[in-house]
C-alpha cells in the first residue's frame, strides 16, 4: 500500500429513500475517511484485506440508501433471501481475481443500506446505526466475510471498535 497520508477516499452518497432520513448525510462525509484510517491501524485488517500488497492512491465506492422494499428485492435476487436486511455489499475489487487498478484508483464496489431497517435497529440513534452499517459494508468491500460465527464475531468486534473511536472523537 502507498503511504496512507497520500490516499484519498472517494465515495458517492445516493438516496433512493423517499422519506425523511432522520440524519444529515453530509455529516458522514467527514467520518467515512476516518473509518478507513482507523481500520488500517488494525494489523489483521491491513494484512488480510484485498488491498494487501496493492499500490493505489484512491479508493472509491458508492453508498446507496434504499427502503425495505428495494433491499428485499435485491436480497431476493442476489442472495435468495426474500426478506429485507440492513446492508448488502457488492464487493467488486475483493471478488475480482484480476484486481483491476486504473490510474492508481481502485473501485471497491457498492454498499446498499435500508434506512427502514436501520431505523428499526437504531438503539443509539440513526446516525450511529448508519455509521455502523457503513463500517460493516466497508469491511465487506475490503474482502472480509462472515460465513462462520468466528468471522462474524471478528467483523462485529472490529466495527464496534471503529464506531467507538469515531463517536468518542
Q: Say if strands 105-114 and 8-15 run parallel, antiparallel, or are unpaired.
A: unpaired
Q: What is the pLDDT of residue 97?
A: 83
User: What DSSP character marks residue 49?
Assistant: S
Q: Which residues pair with 60 in a beta bridge?
A: 10, 107
> How many other C-beta atoms can be found within 10 angstroms of the C-beta atom of residue 2?
12
Q: What is the pLDDT of residue 169?
A: 67
Q: What is the pLDDT of residue 65?
A: 98
Q: What is the pLDDT of residue 129?
A: 96
Question: From the first residue on, what is the mean pLDDT of each consecutive set of 10 residues in the chain (169 residues)?
Answer: 64 95 91 94 95 94 98 97 97 89 95 98 94 97 95 96 88
Structural domains of the chain, ranges and CATH numbers in brackets? 8-168 (3.40.390.30)
Residue with cell 452499517: 133
57: cell is: 492512491
Q: What is the pLDDT of residue 98?
A: 82
Q: What is the pLDDT of residue 42?
A: 96
Q: What is the pLDDT of residue 6?
A: 66
Amino acid at each position: 500500500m502507498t503511504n496512507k497520508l497520500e490516499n484519498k477516499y472517494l465515495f458517492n452518497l445516493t438516496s433512493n429513500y423517499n422519506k425523511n432520513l432522520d440524519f444529515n448525510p453530509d455529516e458522514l462525509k467527514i467520518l467515512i475517511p476516518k473509518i478507513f484510517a482507523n481500520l488500517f491501524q488494525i494489523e489483521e485488517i491491513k494484512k488480510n484485506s484485498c488491498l494487501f500488497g496493492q499500490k493505489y492512491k484512491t479508493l472509491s465506492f458508492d453508498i446507496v440508501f434504499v427502503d425495505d422494499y428495494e433491499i428485499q428485492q435485491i436480497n431476493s435476487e442476489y442472495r435468495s433471501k426474500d426478506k429485507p436486511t440492513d446492508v448488502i455489499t457488492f464487493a467488486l475489487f475483493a471478488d475480482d481475481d484480476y484486481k483491476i487498478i486504473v490510474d492508481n484508483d481502485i473501485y471497491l464496489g457498492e454498499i446498499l443500506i435500508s434506512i427502514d431497517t436501520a431505523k428499526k435497529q437504531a438503539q443509539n440513534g440513526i446516525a450511529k446505526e448508519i455509521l455502523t452499517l457503513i463500517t460493516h459494508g466497508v469491511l465487506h468491500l475490503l474482502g472480509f466475510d462472515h460465513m462462520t460465527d468466528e468471522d462474524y464475531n471478528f467483523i462485529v468486534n472490529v466495527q464496534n471498535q471503529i464506531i467507538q473511536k469515531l463517536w468518542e472523537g
